């Protein structure tokens, strides 16, 4: 197998893993660790280390938390003026935290909105009208500028998918670049039946997506759709984009899915997720971790698709390796064989 040693281009920077909300679907519910802001000492170290890697083009302020909660939110944008800055946010603190100079330093906002009033209150504890006022405020700060682009991320499930039609009516007036639909990654068995995707033959969802697509044309919105059923092709958006993820404690992990301890349910099968770290910035420089043979070998394996596939494996019902992400049946760790992100069911930016 050939090694894939591309320079590091994209860094997901988790300035904090705490949040001002407690969304029903959120990955954070299954955590055992206390949420934490990145410390000042670590933040300085992270900035210095990213600076030493000129190939880094994009910094995504996101991860598992709300970046606008971080005391270093503004400073980070100021510090990395020469890079592309993307921010994933719940959008509820724009009026409190955003200023025109900060907004001018951001290239892309991805804001999570996945319902109308009733659904947003139930699922996220957010008042829809207030959230729209936050979006209007952002648009005012942008003035006539094209950037930051504004993408909306809609996490689709049986509970909220019907809201997408009235939501498109509202979003059509809000200068949206893309409406990105991602599927729900159930965190526990009670959510398992809320998913819309299937392993095979999902005519129902294909027809629904067709209706959504037609409606979006009328509204002048561009929609990015996830897969409806299992496809042969796999693509890891982290490895293929030469990205890494720095947690608020300085761990270097490959992606969102393996960033924290938690759980997920893959086609009805519960799984324990553990953090998979290739090293901590406090004890080894970022560049050294990125070039470490173990991490390079891992990226090469994922990039070249040399790893097993659980969702369509005949042994999946009896296999003892599907209960966690420790090892796959090739003896490799971590186990990516059951990952629904690489299957284009679950998205991140
Ligand atoms: C973890 S959040 C962090 C950024 C920010 N707090 C927000 O909500 O946009 C990143 C994205 O993951 C989505 N998300 C959270 N839990 C999810 C789940 N169980 N399945 C799929 N997407 C989920 C959120 O809706 C959001 O769009
Ligand atoms: S706003 Fe984002 S990080 Fe916070 S609880 Fe909701 S999905 Fe999770
Ligand atoms: S780990 Fe291997 S044997 Fe087990 S279900 Fe996945 S692909 Fe099949
Ligand atoms: S394949 Fe999935 S689990 Fe593996 S690195 Fe990519 S996103 Fe993470």
For residue 74, pLDDT over 60 is answered with yes
**In whole angstroms, what is the distance from residue 198 CA to residue 203 CA?**
10
Ligand 1 touching residue 76 (CB < 6 A): no
Measured in whole angstroms, the distance separating CA 121 from the mean position of its chain's CA atoms is: 22
Measured in whole angstroms, the distance separating CA 201 from the mean position of its chain's CA atoms is: 27
HSE (side-chain half, CA atoms, 13 Å) at 285: 9
**In whole angstroms, what is the distance from residue 130 CA to residue 339 CA?**
35
Ligand 1 centroid from CA 309, angstroms = 25
Ligand 3 centroid from CA 334, angstroms = 13
Summarised one tens digit per residue, pLDDT across range 151-210 is 999 999 999 999 999 999 999 999 999 999 999 999 999 999 999 999 999 999 999 999
Predicted TM-score (pTM) of the model is 0.97
Q: With contact defined as beta carbons under 8 Å apart, do 61 and 11 qualify?
A: no
For residue 18, pLDDT over 60 is answered with yes
Ligand nearest to the CA of 301: 4
What does the block give as tokens for 33? 């660790």
Beta strand 243-246 with 252-253: parallel, antiparallel or unpaired?
A: antiparallel
**Residue nearest atom 2 in ligand 1 by C-alpha distance:** 64
Query: pLDDT at position 3, please?
Result: 52
Ligand 3 — pocket residues by CB below 6 A?
308-310, 313, 315-316, 319, 321-322, 328-329, 337
Check whether the bond before 148 is cis (ω within 30° of 0): yes
What phi, psi does 253 have (nearest 5°)? -120, 160
Ligand 2 touching residue 260 (CB < 6 A): no
Confidence class for position 143, pLDDT limits 50, 70, 90: confident
What does the block give as tokens for 149? 């682009």
Q: Where are the alpha helices (DSSP H) in the chain?
A: 40-51, 73-79, 94-97, 100-104, 117-124, 128-142, 164-171, 203-219, 286-291, 293-303
């Amino acid at each position: 197998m050939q090694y894939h040693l591309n320079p590091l281009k994209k860094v997901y920077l988790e300035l904090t893993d705490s949040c001002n909300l407690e969304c029903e679907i959120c990955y954070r519910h299954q955590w055992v660790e206390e949420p934490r802001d990145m410390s000042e000492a670590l933040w300085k170290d992270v900035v210095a280390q990213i600076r030493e890697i000129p190939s880094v083009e994009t910094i995504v302020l996101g991860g598992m938390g709300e970046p606008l909660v971080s005391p270093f939110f503004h400073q980070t944008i100021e510090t990395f003026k020469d890079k592309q800055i993307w921010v994933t946010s719940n959008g509820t603190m724009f009026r409190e935290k955003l200023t025109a100079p900060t907004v001018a330093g951001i290239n892309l906002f991805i804001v999570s909105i996945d319902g109308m009033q009733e659904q947003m209150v139930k699922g996220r504890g957010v008042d829809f009208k207030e959230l729209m006022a936050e979006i209007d405020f952002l648009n005012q700060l942008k003035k006539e500028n094209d950037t930051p682009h504004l993408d909306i991320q809609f996490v689709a499930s049986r509970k909220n998918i019907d809201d997408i039609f009235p939501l498109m009516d509202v979003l059509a007036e809000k200068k949206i670049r893309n409406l990105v639909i991602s599927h729900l990654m159930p965190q526990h068995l009670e959510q398992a039946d809320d998913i819309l995707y299937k392993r095979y033959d999902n005519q129902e969802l294909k027809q629904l997506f067709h209706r959504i697509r037609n409606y979006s044309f009328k509204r002048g919105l561009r929609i990015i759709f996830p897969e409806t059923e299992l496809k042969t092709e796999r693509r890891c958006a982290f490895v293929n984009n030469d990205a890494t993820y720095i947690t608020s404690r300085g761990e270097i992990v490959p992606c969102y899915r393996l960033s924290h301890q938690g759980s997920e349910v893959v086609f009805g099968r519960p799984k324990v997720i553990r953090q998979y770290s290739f090293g901590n910035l406090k004890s080894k420089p970022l560049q050294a971790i990125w070039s470490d043979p173990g991490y390079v070998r891992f990226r090469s394996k994922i990039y070249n698709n040399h790893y097993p596939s659980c969702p369509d494996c005949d042994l999946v019902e009896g296999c003892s390796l599907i209960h966690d992400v420790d090892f796959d049946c090739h003896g490799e760790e971590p186990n990516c064989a059951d990952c629904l992100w690489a299957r284009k069911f679950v998205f991140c930016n």
